[in-house]
Each structure stands twice: as C-alpha cells, then as structure tokens.
Structure 1
Amino acid sequence: MKLSEIKKILTTLETVNFKLPNGNFVPEHFHVTEVGLITKNFIDCGGVVRNETVVNFQLWDANDFEHRLKPQKLNHIIELSEKILGIEDFEIEVEYQDTTIGKYDLGFNGKDFELLNKQTACLAKDQCGIPSEKPKMKLTQLNGESSNSCTPDGGCC
C-alpha cells in the first residue's frame, strides 16, 4: 500500500486497527512511534546495484491502556513527516514487535489495516540458473518414450 492510499482510507475511518497475519490484532492502545523514510542500497547476487525506498511506520504496544490513536491524528503525523522529511508516495512497510521485530507489508480489508508477511526472493534468477517459471509438463510426457513405462494393460503394476 502506498502512502497516498492510507491517507485516503484514514479519512473514512472512525478507528485505526492493525490485524496481524495470525488473525490477532495489535492492541488498541498502540502508538505509532515513528514514521520515516528508509532507503536500502544493495547489490543482488547477480552483481546488480539496486535501491529500495519505503515509508516506515513503527507500531509500539505500550502500557498506556488509555491511549487510542484516532485516524485524524495518524493522518496529521503522516503529513508532518511528509513536510519535514520530504517523504514522497512510496510503499509502506510496518515494523511491529511481537516475539521479535517483524517487518510487514500493509493491506486493507475494507475495515482494518492488515499486516502482511513479507517474502524474500532472488532478484537475479537469470544469473543464478533459477527458472522464472516452473516448466509445465503433462504426466504422459514424463516416461512416455521410455520402454520401461507402464501401460494400462502392460502388467507392470
């Protein structure tokens, strides 16, 4: 989800809820302790220099049980961050500590924001010999030309 999308969604909500991949929710008294800009510069396994930039939200579960972040307040925090840090309309990454600090993509199900598990991937599959798509074969092609292959009436089973 891009920053512009969350800002638009926040104008329609009465409460801000974040649902974890396991179906549980971040406690309603969470704080957004950071809105930042993270740029990652790296070289992939094929030797290509790359960079990624994301807007980072850090959620923190405090012992402040009376706290409840309103959508308008979160929008204000985002707008302040855009102004001061020069943040543009990048994808959002959310950090939240459960058993360890996790990084999540952000989605929306029509009611709640959803923390979506991120996946690793090889960015240079052509350099590593990894096919971009799994080859499709018919089962009849596997041993169809072999003299040892079974036929329905061949007695091999």
Structure 2
Amino acid sequence: MKLSNIKEILPTLDNVEFQLADGTFVPKHFHVTEVGIVTKHFIDCGGTIRNKKVVNFQLWNANDFEHRLKPTKLLNIIKLSEEKLDIQDAEIEVEYQSETIGKYNLDFNGNHFVLKNKQTACLASDACGIPAEKQKVELSELNSACCSPNSDCC
C-alpha cells in the first residue's frame, strides 16, 4: 500500500486498527511513534546497484491503556511528515515489535489495516545459479482418461 492509499482510506474510518497476519490485533492503545522515509542503497549478489525507498511507520505499545489513535490524528501526523521531511508517495513499511522489530507490508481489508509478513528473496537469481523451481505434480492429478484400461488408446 502506498502513502496516497492510506490517506484516502483514513477519512472513511472511525478507528485505526492493525491486524497481524496470524489474525491477532495490535493492541488498541498503540502509538505511531515514527513516520519517515527509509532509503536503502545496496548491491545485490549479481552486482546490480539498487535503491529502494519506503515510507516507514513505527507502531509501539505503551502502558497508557486508554490511548486511542484516531484516523484524523494519524492523517495529521502523515501530513506533517510530508511537509517537514519532504516525503513523497511510496510503499509503506510498518515496524512493529514481536520477538524483535518486525517489518511488514501494509494492506487494507475493508475494515482495518493488515500487517502482511515480508519475505526475503534473491534479486539476482539468474546470477546465483539457483535452478528454477520445478513444478510439482501429483500423479493423481494427471488426466489419465486416455490411458485408462478401457480406453483402447494403449
């Protein structure tokens, strides 16, 4: 989800809720402690230099259990970060504490925001010598009608 998407969604909501991929919710008393732009300048294993920018939200739970972040407040935080940090429209990455700081993609399911698990991947698989994954097929899934004992095709 891009920053422009969340800015369109927030005015339509009564509450801001985040759900993890396992179905549990981020506690309702969370804070958005950071909104920023993160730039990653790196070289992949194939030698290609890459640049990646994401808008970063950091969610944090404090012991102020009565705290509730309203959509208008989050929208104001976003607008302030755009103005002060010159943040442009980019994909959103959310940081949230699990066993360590987890990084998630952001989605919206029509009711609340969903923190989608991220996966690592090789960006230069052709240069790494990793063979393409072969499609696995169960023999029972193959169309065996032409080779059935009564088909007269064999």
Residue 67 of structure 1 aligns to a residue in which SS? coil
Q: Which residue of 2 aligns with 1:102?
A: 102
Cα deviation, residue 36, structure 1: 0.5
Q: Judging changes above 3 Å, is the alpha-carbon distance between structure 1 residues 9 and 138 closer, same or farther for their aligned structure 2 residues?
A: closer
Q: Which residue of 2 aligns with 1:134?
A: 133
Structure 2 Cα separation of the partners of residues 136 and 6 of structure 1: 37
Helix, strand or coil: the match of 2:77?
helix
Over 3 Å counting, the alpha-carbon distance change for 1:137 and 1:9 in structure 2 is closer
2:76 is equivalent to residue 76 of structure 1: yes
Matched residue, 1:39: 39
Q: What's the CA shift for 1:135?
A: 4.1
Q: Is the partner of 1:94 in helix, strand or coil?
A: strand
Structure 2 residue identity aligned to 1:64: D
Give the aligned partner of residue 118 of structure 2: 118
Deviations 1:65-98 (A, max 9, x none): 1110000000000000001100000000000002
Report the CA distance between 1:134 and its aligned residue.
3.2
The share of aligned pairs that are identical, in percent, is 67
1:155 alignment counterpart: none
What is the alpha-carbon distance in structure 2 between the residues aligned to residue 6 and residue 36 of structure 1?
15
Q: Tell me the distance in 1 between the aligned counterparts of 2:138 and 2:27.
A: 50
Q: TM-score, normalised by structure 1?
A: 0.84
Larger radius of gyration: 1
Structure 1: which 5+ runs fail to align? 141-151, 153-157
Q: Are the structure 2 counterparts of residues 126 and 34 from structure 1 closer, same or farther at C-alpha, using a change threshold of 3 Å?
A: same
1:137: how far off? 8.1
The one-letter code sitting in structure 1 at the alignment partner of 2:61 is: D
Give the aligned residue type for 1:26.
V
For residues 40-84 of structure 1, the C-alpha deviation after alignment (integer angstroms, 9 at most, x for no partner) is: 011100011111100000000000111100000000000000011
Counterparts of 2:74 and 2:26, CA distance in 1: 15
SS in structure 1 opposite 2:104?
Answer: strand
Q: Which residue does 1:145 correspond to in 2? A: none
Give the paired residue count: 140
Q: What is the Cα deviation at residue 99 of structure 1? A: 2.0
Aligned-residue CA RMSD in angstroms? Answer: 1.8
